[in-house]
Structure 1
Amino acid sequence: MTTNAELAARFEEFADLLEADGVEYKPRAYRRAAENVRAHPSPIADRVDTGDRAAIENIDGVGDAIASKIVEYVETGSIEELEELRAELPIDMADITRIEGVGPKTAGKLYRELGVETLDDLEAAAEAGEIQEVKGFGPKTEQNILDNLEFARTVGQRQLLGEARPLADDVLAFLESLEAVERCEVAGSIRRWRATIGDVDALVATDAREDVIDQFVAWDSVDDEIESGPEKASVRVGEIRVDLRVVVPEEFGSALQYFTGSKDHNVSLRNYAIERGMKLNEYGAFDVSEIDDPDAGQRVGERVAGETEAGMYDALGLPSIPPELREDRGEIEAAENGELPALVTRDDIRGDFHTHTEWSDGNTTIETMVEAAAERGYDYFGIADHAEGPGIVGEMGLSDTEILEQVEEIRAVGDDAELEVLAGIEANVDADGEIDLSDEVIDELDVIVASTHSALDQDAETATDRLVRAAENPAIDVLGHPSGRLLNQRSGLDYDVTAVGRAAAEHDTALEVNSDPRRLDLWGSAVQAVLEEGAPIAIDTDSHQPATLEYMRWGVHTARRGWAEPADVVNTWDLAAVREFLH
Structure 2
Amino acid sequence: MENKTIARTLRLLSQLMELHNENPFKIKSVANAAFKVDKLPFAIKDKSLDEIGKIDGLGKSISAKVWELLETGSMVELDTILAQTPEGIVEMLNIKGIGPKKIVVIWKDLGIENLGELYYACNENRLIEAKGFGLKTQEEIKKIIEFKMAAQGKFLYAQTEGPVNKLYADLAVWLNTISGNPLLSIGGDYRRCLEIIEEIELIIGVDSLEELQTKIIDFKSITFEPQTENSYLAHSESGLKIKLQVVAKSDFYLSWFKLTGNEKHVNEVLALAGSGPFNSEHEIYQKAGLAFIEPELREGLNEIDLAKENKLPQLITYGDLKGSLHNHSTWSDGVHTLEEMAVFCKENLQLEYLGMCDHSKSAFYANGLNEQRIYAQHQEIDALNAKLSPFRIFKGIESDILYDGSLDYSDDILKTFDFVVASVHSILRMDEEKATSRIITAIENPYTTILGHPTGRLLLSRKGYPIDYKKVIDACAANNVVIEINANPLRLDLDWRWHRYALEKGVLLSINPDAHRKEGFHDMHYGVLIGRKGGLTPKQCLNSYSLSEITALFESRIKNI
TM-score (structure 2 length as normaliser): 0.71
- Distance, in Å, in 2 between the alignment partners of 1:329 and 1:428 is 35
Tell me the CA shift for residue 461 of structure 1. Answer: 2.1
What SS is found at the alignment partner of 1:23?
A: helix
Q: One-letter code of the match for 1:190?
A: Y
Quote the residue 2:232 is aligned against: 233
Q: How does 1:20-419 map to 2 (within 5 A)?
A: 21-23=100-102, 35=123, 156-178=152-174, 179=176, 180=178, 182-209=182-209, 212=212, 219-222=219-222, 225=224, 227=226, 230-239=229-238, 240-270=240-270, 272-273=271-272, 279=274, 285=275, 303=276, 305-374=277-346, 375-389=348-362, 392-394=363-365, 396-417=367-388, 419=391
- Distance, in Å, in 2 between the alignment partners of 1:383 and 1:212 is 54
What SS is found at the alignment partner of 1:353?
A: strand
- Distance, in Å, in 2 between the alignment partners of 1:213 and 1:498 is 52
Quote the residue 2:411 is aligned against: 439
Q: One-letter code of the match for 2:101?
A: G
Tell me the CA shift for residue 210 of structure 1. Answer: 5.6
Tell me the CA shift for residue 226 of structure 1. Answer: 5.3
Contact 1:206 1:247 in 2 (8 A): yes
Tell me the CA shift for residue 412 of structure 1. Answer: 2.0
Tell me the CA shift for residue 225 of structure 1. Answer: 5.0
Counterpart pick for 2:434 among 448, 462, 482: 462
Tell me the CA shift for residue 13 of structure 1. Answer: 6.9
What SS is found at the alignment partner of 2:552?
A: helix
Check 1:32–1:309 CA distance in 2 against 1; reply closer, same or farther (3 A cut). Answer: closer
Tell me the CA shift for residue 216 of structure 1. Answer: 6.1
- Distance, in Å, in 2 between the alignment partners of 1:93 and 1:455 is 28
Q: How does 1:483-562 map to 2 (within 5 A)?
A: 483-562=455-534
- Distance, in Å, in 2 between the alignment partners of 1:250 and 1:355 is 49
Contact 1:501 1:531 in 2 (8 A): no
Contact 2:170 2:221 in 1 (8 A): no
Contact 1:566 1:572 in 2 (8 A): yes
Q: Could you list the per-position Cα deviations for residues 40-82 of structure 1 after superposition, in whole angstroms to 9, with x for gaps in the alignment?
A: xxxxxxxxxxxxxxxxxxxxx755x889x79xx9xxxxx9xx8
Q: Could you list the per-position Cα deviations for residues 205-234 of structure 1 after superposition, in whole angstroms to 9, with x for gaps in the alignment?
A: 222546556766665543x65545542222
Give the aligned length: 440
Check 1:364–1:217 CA distance in 2 against 1; reply closer, same or farther (3 A cut). Answer: farther
Check 1:32–1:462 CA distance in 2 against 1; reply closer, same or farther (3 A cut). Answer: closer
Q: Could you list the per-position Cα deviations for residues 243-271 of structure 1 after superposition, in whole angstroms to 9, with x for gaps in the alignment?
A: 1222222222111110012123223334x
Quote the residue 1:150 is aligned against: none
Q: Could you list the per-position Cα deviations for residues 394-442 of structure 1 after superposition, in whole angstroms to 9, with x for gaps in the alignment?
A: 3522212222212222222222225211121111112222111133332
- Gap runs ≥5 in structure 1: 1-11, 38-60, 74-78, 87-91, 96-153, 280-284, 286-302
- Distance, in Å, in 2 between the alignment partners of 1:531 and 1:514 is 16
Identity of aligned residues (%): 27
Check 1:376–1:232 CA distance in 2 against 1; reply closer, same or farther (3 A cut). Answer: same
Check 1:445–1:326 CA distance in 2 against 1; reply closer, same or farther (3 A cut). Answer: same
What SS is found at the alignment partner of 1:243?
A: strand
Quote the residue 1:54 is aligned against: none
Contact 1:254 1:306 in 2 (8 A): yes
Counterpart pick for 1:481 among 441, 453, 468: 453
Tell me the CA shift for residue 531 of structure 1. Answer: 0.9
Check 1:185–1:511 CA distance in 2 against 1; reply closer, same or farther (3 A cut). Answer: same
- Distance, in Å, in 1 between the alignment partners of 2:124 and 2:432 is 35
Contact 1:213 1:228 in 2 (8 A): no
Contact 1:448 1:477 in 2 (8 A): yes
Tell me the CA shift for residue 452 of structure 1. Answer: 1.3
Quote the residue 1:141 is aligned against: none
Check 1:20–1:407 CA distance in 2 against 1; reply closer, same or farther (3 A cut). Answer: farther
Check 1:247–1:14 CA distance in 2 against 1; reply closer, same or farther (3 A cut). Answer: farther
Q: One-letter code of the match for 1:22?
A: K
What SS is found at the alignment partner of 1:386?
A: coil
Q: One-letter code of the match for 1:173?
A: A
Contact 1:221 1:237 in 2 (8 A): no
What SS is found at the alignment partner of 1:416?
A: helix
TM-score (structure 1 length as normaliser): 0.69
What SS is found at the alignment partner of 1:177?
A: helix
Q: One-letter code of the match for 1:566?
A: P
- Distance, in Å, in 1 between the alignment partners of 2:422 and 2:219 is 46
Q: Could you list the per-position Cα deviations for residues 513-560 of structure 1 after superposition, in whole angstroms to 9, with x for gaps in the alignment?
A: 000000000121111111111111111101111112111111011111
Q: Could you list the per-position Cα deviations for residues 153-175 of structure 1 after superposition, in whole angstroms to 9, with x for gaps in the alignment?
A: x9944211111122222222222
Larger radius of gyration: 2
Q: Could you list the per-position Cα deviations for residues 303-342 of structure 1 after superposition, in whole angstroms to 9, with x for gaps in the alignment?
A: 4x42311111111111111111111111001101111111
What SS is found at the alignment partner of 2:102?
A: coil
Tell me the CA shift for residue 22 of structure 1. Answer: 2.5
Quote the residue 2:20 is aligned against: none
Q: Could you list the per-position Cα deviations for residues 489-518 of structure 1 after superposition, in whole angstroms to 9, with x for gaps in the alignment?
A: 111122122221221122111000000000
Quote the residue 1:121 is aligned against: none
Q: One-letter code of the match for 1:381?
A: L
Contact 2:195 2:492 in 1 (8 A): yes
1:575 and 2:553 matched: no
Quote the residue 1:43 is aligned against: none
Contact 2:286 2:292 in 1 (8 A): yes
Tell me the CA shift for residue 388 of structure 1. Answer: 2.3
Residue range with higher mean Cα deviation, 196-205 or 18-27: 18-27
Q: One-letter code of the match for 1:321?
A: I
Quote the residue 1:45 is aligned against: none
Check 1:566–1:232 CA distance in 2 against 1; reply closer, same or farther (3 A cut). Answer: same
Check 1:218–1:487 CA distance in 2 against 1; reply closer, same or farther (3 A cut). Answer: farther
- Distance, in Å, in 2 between the alignment partners of 1:66 and 1:466 is 33
Q: One-letter code of the match for 1:195?
A: E
Contact 2:124 2:333 in 1 (8 A): no
Contact 1:434 1:470 in 2 (8 A): yes
- Distance, in Å, in 2 between the alignment partners of 1:579 and 1:186 is 41
Contact 1:351 1:571 in 2 (8 A): yes
- Distance, in Å, in 2 between the alignment partners of 1:528 and 1:537 is 11
- Distance, in Å, in 2 between the alignment partners of 1:155 and 1:569 is 36
Q: One-letter code of the match for 2:400?
A: N
Check 1:249–1:536 CA distance in 2 against 1; reply closer, same or farther (3 A cut). Answer: same
What SS is found at the alignment partner of 2:415?
A: helix
- Distance, in Å, in 2 between the alignment partners of 1:492 and 1:259 is 31
Check 1:519–1:31 CA distance in 2 against 1; reply closer, same or farther (3 A cut). Answer: closer
Tell me the CA shift for residue 194 of structure 1. Answer: 0.8
- Distance, in Å, in 2 between the alignment partners of 1:14 and 1:35 is 20
